Amino acid sequence: MNKNTQAILVVGNPKGVSLIEVEPPKIGRRAGVFAAVCALLVFSASIQATVLYDGGALDFESSGQSMWDSGTAFRKADSVFLGTQWTNKTASFGGIAGSVTSTTVNTNPLWGAWWTCKHTIDVLCGSEPAKWPVTTTVDTRTGAKLSVNSSGKVGLEFGYSIDSGSVDSTAQFSALADLPDTLVEKNDVINLNASSALDSGTLATQSPKVEAYISAIMQLSGSVTATACGLTLGCASGSTAIPTVNMDQRILSVDANSLKVLDGILPGGEPFAEVPILNQSLTLEGALSPEPPFAGFKLTGPGGLTLASSVPPGPAVSFDMAEIEVQVPDIATSGNKSGADTISSNGRDDFLSAQLDLDGAATLLGGLPPLGLNATLIDAPGIKVEANLDLMDVDAGPVLGIT
């Protein structure tokens, strides 16, 4: 180093402490100082190495949250079984007589000589006296036996469930971060570059619901084993599984809307019969009667029973004109992740429907040929016998629901 150079100590150099010689420029001392500062900033920049941290899947789950407010929804379900149930029980039919026996027979008539040579010397018996006695196995088993091993449950189940409106959900996240792999000093600034992403999730909701039921339960599983034996022929066995039965059929079920008989037994999950409770409907019909007054109106309620009529009771032909139906919504939804950061589910059910029967009104008021009619044979209080025919049914009107 000569008198025309300056020494600068660089402290932050990642490769260690460096001594740099800077030659002063010709233009003066200030320019030399500026150049030294620039060199210090360049060489003092350190490179921080990092490692990727992956914490794995982060799972969150909630069950039975209230859909109306924070906290837990009121949910209760219980059932009582009346009947019989059994596990791994065996019943046997028939039987097998006889047994398998082994008998030792001496084939040497000189029994004494055999015994003597066996226990002393083999002069009389030869080199293998022990082979003289012969062991004979006799199988006298005969008959047949059938064994049935089963588990099952047969009886009636009485149960109920109450849900005040609930939400169940799951969410799976992944989280990443950059962690330094060297010693971090006090006052160092570190950027973790943290990030997270919603990987998957589910959401299920149930609107308020009350239900009670009676179900017929029949469950059966097991196997059948058969064994047959013949005299001197031995025994043979085989087994096969019993066809599995797993029936859970609702006999009666009642909710806020209706009482159902044999719910789900018909195609499409429809009940065999249904009696409305809070699900009420009113139908206005235009009627034609062979007795005066020859034309009028009928108002029918749930089950098709006549509530009011301006035509005589008895045989008549009527046309639907309008219908109003009110019911308690029952909305159950389920959904999954949709989009980058959303889990959603949705559903809808009607609570009010007002429909005008266009083809019936056109027949009664416009004189068009009937496309649908109801032929009433008996219309007495509590009893109504009617035949319905619809070639075409065109309805229009508002339907209000909850989504």
Kindly state whether residues 398 and 351 are assigned to the same domain: yes
Return phi, psi of residue 14, to 5°. -65, -20
- 289-331 pLDDT, tens per residue? 888 888 888 888 887 788 888 888 778 888 788 899 999 999 9
Alpha helices in 248-308 (DSSP H): none
Cα–Cα nearest to 167, from 18, 344, 34, 17 = 344
Kindly state whether residues 34 and 183 are assigned to the same domain: no
- Give the mean pLDDT of 45-70: 82
Kindly state whether residues 207 and 249 are assigned to the same domain: yes
Kindly state whether residues 378 and 324 are assigned to the same domain: yes
Which of 241, 273, 305 marks a domain boundary?
273
pLDDT of residue 132: 53
Quote the tokens at residue 226. Answer: 């058969």
Kindly state whether residues 327 and 387 are assigned to the same domain: yes
Which one is predicted more confidently, 87 or 127?
A: 87
Residues 6+ apart with CB under 8 A from 392: 359, 371, 372
126 phi-psi bin (left φ>0, alpha ψ -120 to 50, beta other): left
Ranges 158-172, 174-188, 194-208: which has the least confidence: 174-188
Residue 174 lies in a domain: yes
Kindly state whether residues 266 and 370 are assigned to the same domain: no
Question: Going by DSSP bridges, is the β-strand pair 258-261/280-288 parallel, antiparallel, or unpaired?
Answer: unpaired
pTM to 2 decimal places: 0.59
Which of 88, 114, 139 marks a domain boundary?
139
Kindly state whether residues 300 and 184 are assigned to the same domain: no
Q: What span, in angstroms and rounded, lies between the C-alpha atoms of 147 and 362?
A: 72
pLDDT of residue 117: 54
Number of domains in the chain: 4
Return phi, psi of residue 358, to 5°. -65, -40
- 260-292 pLDDT, tens per residue? 999 999 988 899 998 889 888 998 888 888 888
- Give the mean pLDDT of 35-52: 51
**Is 359 within 8 Å of 371 (Cβ atoms)?**
yes
Kindly state whether residues 313 and 371 are assigned to the same domain: yes
Q: What span, in angstroms and rounded, lies between the C-alpha atoms of 31 and 33?
A: 5
Q: What span, in angstroms and rounded, lies between the C-alpha atoms of 361 and 363?
A: 5
Kindly state whether residues 253 and 110 are assigned to the same domain: no
- 132-152 pLDDT, tens per residue? 566 677 888 899 999 999 999
Tokens 């009028």 locate to 296
Kindly state whether residues 223 and 241 are assigned to the same domain: yes
Q: What is residue 113's three-state secondary structure?
A: helix
> Is residue 164 pLDDT above 50, yes or no?
yes
Kindly state whether residues 329 and 356 are assigned to the same domain: yes
Which of 273, 298, 331 marks a domain boundary?
273
Kindly state whether residues 389 and 301 are assigned to the same domain: yes
Return phi, psi of residue 273, to 5°. -150, 155
> Is residue 112 pLDDT above 90, yes or no?
no
Residue 1 lies in a domain: no
Residues 6+ apart with CB under 8 A from 112: none
Residue 207 lies in a domain: yes
Domain range for 109: 100-139
